[in-house]
Amino acid sequence: MNLTNNTILVTGGTGGFGFEFASKLIALGNTVIITGRNAQKLQDVKQKLPAVHTLQSDVSKIEDMITLHEKVIREFPDLNIILNNAGEMRKISLHHQHDLADITREIEINLMGPIRMVQQFLPHLKTKTNAAILNVSSGIALMAFPISPIYSASKAGLRAYTQALRVQLKNTNINVFELIAPGSTTPLNDKFKEEDGFSTSALMAPEKIVDAAIKGMQNDQAEIFPGLAKLMQILSRLAPNFVISQSGKMGASYMYGK
Ligand SMILES: NC(=O)c1ccc[n+]([C@@H]2O[C@H](COP(=O)([O-])OP(=O)(O)OC[C@H]3O[C@@H](n4cnc5c(N)ncnc54)[C@H](OP(=O)(O)O)[C@@H]3O)[C@@H](O)[C@H]2O)c1
């Protein structure tokens, strides 16, 4: 698809991939609106990227999404692309006590967020001749990462949902893309430390992942697997038990409550 002269809404645009998407898509000549929960972070991005439009909105809150939808449709009626990027990832030992309302947080942000965004914006996207939805899943959608069990469930769910969505929209003007991103040097991963067995050397720069995503969309590539994500796809098919036993070594002392 053509990635110039579009109006694009990016959820979670204040850091990591979202910020890279915003700056690169603006440079390509698109109008870009970003969201995030933190007003200060939105202001900081506006200073760095004066052309960006910012709206404070929490993707896990239905009332925020209704307000976001009203504002965007009113102020940016040309909106034709949605990037469901906002996400959170915690390390969680299931041996610890957890508040029942909080334990599902990644499901609410990473899975229910994109599902509700699509449902809310679908009637509008159908009115456009050239429209797209990109959902940012993860290599972890292909293989569970035991130290982040709720995140793993959210991304596997998002991948399944995106595959079903693509089929349901096949006779429409809306392209459905999935970015199956590998691990990256964004703040999301700050909580994972070398001493726990995590290798930061394997992480890919967010700029490169977003370049691959943009190129993939321009080439109408429905599923985009940058860098190690391609290898993860192959390994998850050929040796799923090996893969999960290896990833289960990362953060072992935290996970097993020792
Ligand atoms: N980094 C990786 O290794 C990696 C790998 C595969 C997939 N991914 C996925 O890529 C996406 C972006 O990750 P990232 O690494 O760029 O993360 P990041 O650097 O932590 O940035 C996350 C962004 O999402 C926003 N956000 C978080 N919760 C939100 C909510 N409830 N409503 C609205 N905005 C929210 C944050 O802003 P506020 O905090 O201000 O809300 C921030 O702008 C996520 O879906 C993540 O799961 C990341």
Please report, for the domain that includes residue 186, its CATH number. Answer: 3.40.50.720
Q: How confident is the model at residue 228 (pLDDT cuts 50, 70, 90)?
A: very high
Domain that holds residue 173: 7-255
Write the pLDDT tens digit of every residue in 93-150: 999 999 999 999 999 999 999 999 999 999 999 999 999 999 999 999 999 999 999 9
Residue 227 lies in a domain: yes
3-state SS, residue 70: helix
Q: Rounded to the nearest 5 degrees, what angle is found at the Cα of 133, between the Cα atoms of 131 and 134?
A: 135
Q: Which atom of ligand 1 is nearest to the CA of 58?
A: 32
- Ligand 1, atom nearest to 38 Cα: 40
Within-domain flag for 56: yes
Among residues 146, 121, 148, which one has the least CA distance to residue 135?
121
Does residue 184 form part of some domain?
Answer: yes
Distance 246 CA to ligand 1 centre (A): 25
The DSSP call for residue 205 is P
Q: Are strands 53-56 and 81-84 parallel, antiparallel or unpaired?
A: unpaired
Answer yes or no: are the C-beta atoms of 155 and 142 closer than 8 Å.
Answer: no
Average pLDDT of the segment spanning 162-185: 98
Instruction: Give the type of residue at 116.
Output: R
Range from 127-131, 244-248, 254-258 carrying the lowest mean pLDDT: 254-258
> Would residue 75 count as lying in a domain?
yes
φ, ψ dihedrals at 143, nearest 5°: -155, 125
Rounded Cα distance between 67 and 65, Å, is 5
Over residues 76-105, the pLDDT tens digits come to 999 999 999 999 999 999 999 999 999 999
Calculate mean pLDDT across residues 54-62: 98
Identify any residues that bridge with 178 across adjacent strands, giving them in sequence order. Answer: 135, 223
Q: What pLDDT, in 10s, does the model give residues 33-49? A: 999 999 999 999 999 99
Whether the CA torsion 69, 72, 76, 80 is positive or negative: it is: negative
257 has a pLDDT exceeding 80:
no
* The residue type at 80: N
pLDDT of residue 252: 86
Model confidence at 258, in pLDDT bands (50, 70, 90)?
low
Q: Is residue 120 part of a domain?
A: yes
Q: So what's the pLDDT on residue 198?
A: 85
216 close to ligand 1 (CB < 6 Angstrom): no
Residue 69 in domain: yes
Q: Chain-centre distance of CA 78, in angstroms?
A: 23
Percent of the chain past pLDDT 90, that is, above it, reads: 90
User: Residue 251: which pLDDT band, with cuts at 50, 70 and 90?
Assistant: confident
Count up the domains in the chain and report the number. 1
The whole-number average pLDDT for the span 39-67 is: 98
The answer to the question of residue 191 being in a domain is yes
1 belongs to a structural domain:
no
Q: Is 148 in the pocket of ligand 1 (CB under 6 A)?
A: no
